Structure 1
Amino acid sequence: MKNTITIVLLLLCNGLTFAQDNAKKKLETKSMFEVQVDSKTYELEEGNELDIDGELKNPKISIKLLGYKKFNAGNLSFEYPSNFSFEVEKSEAYRNWTLDGNNYVIMIFDIDGASQVKDFIDNMIIQFGKENCKTKDIQSQLGEKMLSGIQLNVELVGQKLSIEFYKYSTGENNSKYIAFQDSLEEDGSATVEGKMTFEMINTSIQYK
């Protein structure tokens, strides 16, 4: 006999509630749970069902909210810290997702038409002021891909900021980008949050 337990039922059993004020957001970022049924432990994505083979007799079920969520934009998915806020902006030819932590920000762009990483960097230099900016070409391994991009370092009013911008996919009339912004430590080193988040994304990212 197969037993099916939905995450909604488990949440109710455990006295937890979860709500999203936007249906699109619910599709693009989901909480992750650890579900324990007797002596077995399962990892489950919000909204999915847990199938258990065999007969359950008076099972003990517990559920724990994990410390990360799963982002999924259809062509790109990865895990990120659950305390990050989530915002999305969409129009006919432009889509932007922003995941914002305390010191670290992840940005994903999906843009129709011709564009390059340099276009974004040039616009940011105008905003911050050329005298406050330095750039360099970079390469980073992100999952199965070696991505090329540009790093923009900004020093403004005593604060140091690093923005790494990469193109991860190019179509005939479309380009997709991922960017990482870190509010650096006083000595110019990456924050703990930044290093931890980048590693979490690096080990979980999937391109579709």
Structure 2
Amino acid sequence: MQGGYHETCGPDHTYNIGGVGVSQTHKYGEFQKLNYGIRGYIGQDWNGGKVTVYGVNPYIKYDFRLIGIGGGGHLGNLIFDGDELNLFPQLDLRLGPYDIFFVEAQLADHFPGSWPATVFKLGIGTGFELKDGTSLRFGISDAGFYLNPYIPIENGLVVDPFFSYGDKSTYQIGLRLHYRLNYK
């Protein structure tokens, strides 16, 4: 993932972040699922000087048909608006059926890292009435307007690109690849 942002009362920044994660999903019936995991990430933030950004992010999410909730936390050397943090919460809320149409709000739930940008997201999405996890999300974030398709290909492989644009100094582009073990 790479991007840029303008620090409030400060200079423009650019950054590159990469990471890995592992998670487990338990399905209960057609629409209920529990997902938990841990992710790690590392990268650089440049603004004339260089800061190494890194962190670990344990999380848990529970989805019912009409509502989804989640939480977790980030621990590491985190950057937000030019300031260094060591600990930050993660929160998720989704309203509406995730396979049809939903509204969601996310705080610090962006992989490979919510740092230094895409800490906040508020958007809508659709699952196109599919049950394989396919979705298209779009909305507004601290990195600008965003678009995030989640595209299962076959045999457990998922392509998950992310694009955001606010202005010439506030943007992000990323490509996440997932492999779902034992996916049926």
> Does TM-score exceed 0.5, indicating one fold?
no
Name the structure with the higher strand share.
2
TM-score, scaled to structure 2: 0.30
Name the structure with the higher helix share.
1
TM-score, scaled to structure 1: 0.28
Which protein has the larger Cα radius of gyration, Structure 1 or Structure 2?
1
